[in-house]
Amino acid sequence: MSDHTEAPNAFLVDAAWLRRRLGEPGLRVVDVRPALAQFRSGYPWGHIPGAIYLDMQQLFAVVDGVPGKLASPATGEALLGQLGLTQADHVVVYDDAGGPLAALLAWLLDFWGQAQVSYLDGGWQAWQEEGGALTDAAPLIRPAVYRARPDENKAATTEWIAAHLDHPALALVDTRTPAEFQAGHLPGALNIPWEENVNPGLAQRYRSGTTLHRQFAELGVTPDKEVVVYCETGARSAHTYWALRLAGYPRVRNYEGSWAEWRRRGGEKPAAADAGPAAVGPCGLPSAAAEPAGAGETAGPPAGRATRDQILAQARARVPELDAYEVKERLDAREQLTVVDIRERDEWVQGHVSGAHFVPRGFLELRIEELQPQRAAPIVVYCAGGVRSLLGGRDLQAMGYTNVFSMAGGFSQWKNAGLPFVVPTVLNEERRARYSRHILIPEVGEAGQLKLLESKVLLIGAGGLGSPAALYLAAAGVGTIGIVDFDAVDLSNLQRQILHGQSDIGRPKVESAADRLREINPDVQVRAHRVLLDSSNALDIIGQYDIVLNGSDNFPTRYLVNDACVLLRKPLVDASIFIFEGQVTVYDSVAGGPCYRCLYPDPPPPGEVPSCAEAGVLGVLPGIIGSLQAMEAIKHILQIGEPLAGRLLMFDGLEMTFRTLKARRDAACPVCGDRPTVTELIDYDQFCGLPARHPVAGGNGHDAAVGMLAL
C-alpha cells in the first residue's frame, strides 16, 4: 500500500466563480458534452466562450464495446497538445449537468500531473442557470506541448488490485447501480452509487465535504483506508474519486479500466460485441467498435450475456421513440396520451411535463395498470435522458402494452427545447420522514399528503369524541384544526378525554387541546374558538373550514351545526355515544345525502335522553367512534373510498358488532329538502324546548350551559 498523503485539491468551482475569471491568462475551459445533432445540443450549438471541445472517445480505448480503457500517455499528450493545453494551465472541465463525464477527464488530468484542474459544479446546466454568456464560435487554438507525468498513487490497475485484494487497509467502492452490483462485483466491495454524491436537481451539484465525509464514514469507508473506486468503465468512479477528495480522504485511486477490464482480464470468454445502431455507453460516451482482442482473448461479452449497449440497442429497436416536440404536439392536440415520468423523486421535484404521472422506474410494472389498464392505449414513458424509458417501454411491451413510446432525450431535451414544464409543490425531507407511511400508500402518496396539509377541519367539542379525532387528524398532518369549546378541563373528563391531562385541570379545553396537538405535530395550525356556539357566530366560524366533525352532547348544538353546514354546503361528520354504544355518519347534502333533520325531524322532549353525566359512558368508547370520525374526514379530504353519506354505522361495544343502516334524504326536510323553509339559523334552545343558555367561565363539565360541547 502507498503512503501517499497529498491533501485533496480544492477542485470544485461554481458558475459564478467561472464568470468572474473567464478569460484570465492560463485559464482553459474544456467542454466534454456529447454532440447530439438531432437535438442541436452540445458544443457546436452553444458553449462557454473560449471553451475548447474534447471528444472523450479519443482518450479512451474500447473494451467489450464500451469506452473506458485509458489510452496511452503518448496518445493523450498528442491530443491535449493539439488542443493547445499545457500541464501548467489551470483547466476547468464541464459536461451537461455535472456528471461523471467531466469528472473522468478531471481525474485523468489530475492523474497526469496537471498543475491545477477544476470541475464546474453543475456543469452546463449550472452555467445557464447563472446566466453565463453563450457562444457558438470556436476559439483560436495554438498547438502546444503537453507532457504527462502520471502519478501512480491516483490510479489502480488490475494487477495492483489483485496484489492488494485482501489487504485490511484497502476499501473497494463500487459506484454502479445496485442492480449492476448484484450482478457481479469485486470481492469485498461496498456499493455506493455515484448519484449519492450529488444534491437533487437538473444541475447535479456535489454535496458538501462534511456531508460526504459523514456519508462515506457511516458506510464503513474511513479516511485511514486506501480507497479504490470503480464502475463499469471508470467515469462514475471518477465522480466518486472527487467526492472522496472533497470529503478529505487522502488516499484515493480510480481503477483505470474498472469492472469491464476486471471482467475481461478475469478469464471469461465473451462473444463478439454488437453495439447496435446509435448505441450510447455509460455516462454519455457513445460506443464504438471493440478493440481487437489480444492473444488468447476473445472480444465481447461473456457467453450467454449481453452488454449494456446491446440491451439498449435491442430496446431501441423494439420501442418506438418520439422527440419532445412530437410529444408536445400530441398533447396539444388533446390526444389521450398517458404520460409517465419514471425518474426518481429528486428529479421529479425539479420539474416535469404537465399532466405526467410520477411512477419511479422500480415501480413501473407494479403501478402501470392503475394508471392505464387498457393495453392498446398510447403511453409515453420518459426519464432524464431517454435510456431508462427505453428499458421501461420494453418491459411494458412484455406486459402486453402495444402502443408504448419512449421520449427520446428525456426531460433534459424537453427543458432544453424551451417547452413548458411544471415545478411541483413537494414535501421537505422532514415531512417526508414524518408522513412516510402515508406516502407509501398509493391512494395517499405525496400528493394526498399535501392535500391533508392544505385542509382545514373544524371540531365541535374537545371532549370524548373530539379528543381522539383531533389527535389522529393532527398526526395525519391536517394543516389547520379549529376547535370550538367553551368548557374547562375537569377531573371527571380525564377518564375519556385523552387530549387533556392532570396538569390541565381548570384550563380552558381549547388551550389544553392546542398545546397537545402542537406537541404531536408542529405542522398543524390550531385555531381555538372559546365561544358558546350559537346562531350569531356559527356561520362565521364554520365557514372558515372545509369539513366539520360534530362531537357535541346536546340537541340544540346538533341542530345548529347541521343547519349551518347545509346552508354553507359543508360536509358534516356526525357521531354520538351512549354507555357502550355509538354511531357515526356523514351528512353531505351537496352530494345528495340526507342531513341530521332528515333522520331526526324533531328533538326528543327535554330530559328523555340522559347525558353522559347522567348515564355514564365507557371511557374507551369515544376513542373508537372519534377515530372513525377522523377516518371519514381524511377520506373526504383525499376523495378516496366510500363515505358514510347515506349510511348510519352502529357500534355495540358489548357485542363487538358493527351494523349499517341506510339513511335517505327527506324531500320534505325543512333544511335540505326540495322546498326548504329554514333558510337561516334560528333559536335552537327554544326549538328544543330548553331555557336560553348563557356562557359561564369555568365549570365542572356537567352543567349543560358550560359543558354543552364536552363528552
What's the mean pLDDT when you consider all of the chain?
85
- CB atoms under 10 Å from CB of 253, counted, come to 26
pLDDT digits (tens, 9 = 90+) for 101-159: 899 999 999 999 998 999 999 999 889 888 899 998 888 899 999 998 888 899 988 88
**pLDDT confidence band for 38 (50 / 70 / 90):** low
pLDDT exceeds 60 at position 174? yes
pLDDT digits (tens, 9 = 90+) for 395-405: 999 999 999 99
Which three cell numbers mark 298?
Answer: 476473445
d(CA 40, CA 38): 6
Kindly state the average pLDDT of the residues 422-449. Answer: 89
pLDDT digits (tens, 9 = 90+) for 566-604: 999 999 999 999 999 999 999 999 999 999 999 988 887
Q: Are 381 and 340 in contact (CB under 8 A)?
A: yes
Q: pTM for the complete prediction?
A: 0.52
Place of cell 374537545: 462
**pLDDT confidence band for 290 (50 / 70 / 90):** very low
- CB atoms under 10 Å from CB of 457, counted, come to 27
Q: What is the pLDDT of residue 158?
A: 85
Calculated CA dihedral for residues 189, 194, 197, 200, nearest 10 degrees: -140
Q: CA Rg, the chain, in Å?
A: 34
**What's at 541, amino acid-wise?**
I
Cα–Cα distance list, 633 to 269, 457, 645 (Å): 64, 8, 12
pLDDT digits (tens, 9 = 90+) for 378-392: 999 999 988 899 999
pLDDT digits (tens, 9 = 90+) for 528-552: 999 999 999 999 999 999 999 999 9
d(CA 214, CA 193): 16
Residues with Cβ within 8 Å of 182's Cβ and at least 6 positions away in sequence, in order, are none
pLDDT exceeds 70 at position 275? no
**Secondary structure (DSSP) of 226-248:** EEEEE-SSSHHHHHHHHHHHHTT
Closest CA to 562 of 607, 593, 605: 593
Place of cell 419532445: 324
SS3 annotation, 685-703: HHHCCCCCCCCCCCCCCCC
Helix (H/G/I), strand (E/B), else coil: 479? coil
Which three cell numbers mark 464?
Answer: 370524548
Q: Are 710 and 497 in contact (CB under 8 A)?
A: yes
